[in-house]
A and B are shown apart, each in its own frame.
Chain A
């Protein structure tokens, strides 16, 4: 029987695109219809539709499909292991005593937002490159400091992402592909450098982290050898974290794994007590750890010719930048950083907030954080307030991703894997932007975190990426 005759004899199930009452009329006649939540592809811009059309040429589409399959396989099969802690100067590629790494795409001192300037000057004082914040500003402006994005040094950094030579870093090695990723230690939730604070209490804590916490973790990991972070991440999701804004379970698991080795180090009981108290002071302790884990997996998927998979999303508080696998190296596509909308600490108002900042969107790039909201019903207030909305965010992200990661699953969604492998073509086609749940830093230097909520990348970054990728892929 021909397909048309099959249609005559079968039960109609229509997919309705456009006028919604056509769907209602079909349902009234006891047939099935599903209405699409459709938006013009590429926001209706002809050059983007042309680009999508070009990429849909059969030969081109096949090339991309093969490249994306490889990229996503590498993300999923990556097995990032925590293998140590050490000072940045000892491990981070390209690090010098006068280098300061920052979050997001490249930016110069004069253009940095308040929180990042606050963090940079704090770090300069911490490194002994200036005696106070005032002098640090002069040093920062003098050209004596090399500013560079964390991402261009195999690193990621929370919020301002400011990382200097003496800071202790996680060292995360990809057991499958061999690449290494780094990130610094959580300063926990207080007046902290990564949020732009830089007073004496901040510097004192950084000194303690350099002198006690970092060396203790380093020594503990020398004994421990390695900790499987992907396995721990999967457990944390099953315990109700999405591992970007909720890290309660992950922090418990991480410190539980580290504790026996911490106890074996040569430090005093008082120092160990300080470390445990510090970890207990905030559930955020493991937050950076997951970022390094995600970075380690995504770097393994970067630089695959013809791939349209996003390997980086990062913001510097002024610009949002993405990197795409098929555009090897440090090719950034940027647009303006957006506001973060969500609940705020008592006493603060939306007009106090700075723009979206930090490398933490690496978690969403991997498929957790906002993408895994359905795993973390406890913090649904961030995304509107209901569990249903949280589930909606996770299922919507499947529209712009290529696969589900079978190694990291969400119980509430029948243990389906987290949406993995953001495809810039699908973002442009659907108009759906990756959802990011993130902290809100105060717009001025020296204050810190004032809330948390939801934000999105600027579509512009994906538009630029699509046009550039289209140029590089030939039939």
Chain B
């Protein structure tokens, strides 16, 4: 018991140090980019003068030397203060708090969908390797994987909202009527169909290919041969002997991919005007809105760490041997 607590504490300390290192690295990276935020803010007003630029610099501490800015930033991070946005004139935590749910809704749905359907299709293809089902699934997977996200998104909009008029082209919900309860859920769900499909399509393809390879590999393992020799039914062999083992590499890979999924949402959120974190990131980069950018990086890092912990946990549930191995 004591050992378990010590291990957990050590892990927490490790995570805290990791986050601090990430924060420092992010800070230096962002500030290494050429381009002065004060000049951007002042310049885009169509007219500017020295006074305005000096005001903006002083207001946001940009007139301080870099190491002072860095120490200030780290001190703030340590006290869970993400700073204040130059451009939006709001605390970064508020901005991220507003956008995070929309992004999580989009990415988690797309992720689960891609994982479920991808694994299913991969299993099907793996079980019938070499036959026409396999060929169709493999070709489709390759096609989706090769397709640029924004192109797929625009094509879906062109077909389903411009030509057919079935689905909304963009946005999170219908603006105007203050919907509640089930109506709101349905409204948001309708708006989600196209962006989720777009985002899921690419990852679905990856998981399908992974699962297919994994199934083919597992099929030749001794325990499957044994089960078959004992006369177990095909369905039982797949469910009890193959799936669990075949899923492990997919889950591990999915854990690694979760971070990239949030990155991929930048494009989808831009095409579908989805009010999420991806677009906030894009705008922050364009505007050199350092505090927002740093805040997002930090939140993403924490999310990735959390997802990795979760992946660990899930693989241990699927394969108890890993848990015993510590």
Do A and B pair up? The answer is: no
Chain A residues within 8 Å of B, Cβ to Cβ:
none
